[in-house]
A = this chain, B = another copy of it.
Amino acid sequence: MMENRIDLTVNIAGLSLKNPVIAASGTFGFGREYSAFFNLSRLGGIAVKGLTLKPRKGNPPPRIAETPAGILNSVGLQNPGVHAFIRDEIPFLRRYETAIIANASGNTVEEYEEMVSILSEADVDAVELNLSCPNVKEGCLVFGSSVSGITQVVSRVRKLCKKPLIVKLTPNVTDISEIACAAEAAGADAVSLINTLLGMAIDAKTRRPVLGNVTGGLSGPAVKPIALRMVYEVSKAVKIPVIGMGGITTGTDMAEFLLAGASAVMIGTAGFVNPYAWVEAVDGLERYMLESGVKSVSELIGGLMV
């Protein structure tokens, strides 16, 4: 009955999602674990664990630190490599009716090109370029945090990419709108933001960093005000769709991001605390829309009254 009245579908860069909730890359593995908790078909999409050309072991533990209303992680892109993903994980994911978004990282422009070429032939619905992972020293950070870096990677990759191309932005920059505009100009079909904020935790007792990697990426409710501001700024600056994320926990949080200008959202950290966070956010958004008399998600997008 609810379904009849409320339209949750959204369109992003030619991709049609049944609802605006996407599992954020790196927090949802390849979906297998959470499929024990709920039907993955309930999600608008799944951004899979960040992929690289070759398998990566990732950073030394500890890889997580709890912070006030958030977490720091320094996983460092541990993944089985893009080929293993295509072989072992896509067939499983395809059992569900949900968009598969391949999150791709590289150390060089050439690696990004190769990744995108491979993924263009794979059965995925979109490619999300991670130019912003703070846990990898070589390359990544540089690409995502300057106009020249992002222009270079996105324009070269664009030529090879046969899928909708989402560019994921780092918040560790002076002016994120400028970077988003550069991504748009270089051919991105959408931008997603924010990736994690670079942070650090120290154990005063041992006088050592908590994380094996010293620094890590901050996510969770703590970063929500920053993420919301950046989504608001970027969606005013670009014409392509914006996927918002950073600390979203509830359907109401999600509504805030849509109002700020996001066309869809990703949810990550909240799922560690509540494995049903993703589906509860879908239900929560539906409830919010019912209560506020909104019939379709598109009415909310960018609807902030300033």
Contact = CB atoms under 8 A, between A and B. Distances in A.
B201 A228 contact: yes
B228 A200 contact: yes
Contact of A229 (B200, B207, B288): B200
This protein's copies in its complex: 2
Of A69, A146, A200, A260, the most chain B CB neighbours within 10 A belong to: A200
Interface stretch (A78-86, A155-163, A213-221): A213-221
Contacts of A223: 222
Contacts of A214: 306
B292 A256 contact: no
Nearest to A201: B225
B204 A226 contact: no
A199 interface: yes
A225 B204 contact: no
A208 interface: yes
A114 to B, nearest CB: 27
A306 B220 CA distance: 26
B68 A224 contact: yes
Interface string A11-36: 00000000000000000000000000
By secondary structure, the A interface counts as: mixed
A126 to B, nearest CB: 27
Contact of A222 (B68, B215, B306): B68
Interface string A270-306: 0000000000000000001000100000000001111
Contacts of A145: 174
B228 A199 contact: yes
A70 interface: yes
Contacts of A70: 68-69, 222, 225
Number of chain A interface residues as a range:
35 or more
A212 to B, nearest CB: 11
A226 B215 CA distance: 10
A279 to B, nearest CB: 19
A53 interface: no
A69 B69 contact: yes
A46 to B, nearest CB: 25
A43 to B, nearest CB: 22
Given A200-B225, A204-B255, A204-B256, 4 more contacts: A67-B224, A68-B247, A200-B229, A222-B222
19 contacts: A67-B221, A68-B70, A68-B220, A145-B174, A146-B174, A197-B226, A199-B225, A199-B226, A199-B229, A200-B260, A201-B228, A202-B260, A204-B255, A204-B259, A207-B259, A207-B304, A209-B304, A209-B306, A215-B232
Task: List the 9 closest A-B pairs by CB distance, nearest first.
Answer: A199-B225, A68-B221, A68-B69, A200-B229, A69-B69, A222-B222, A202-B256, A204-B255, A173-B174
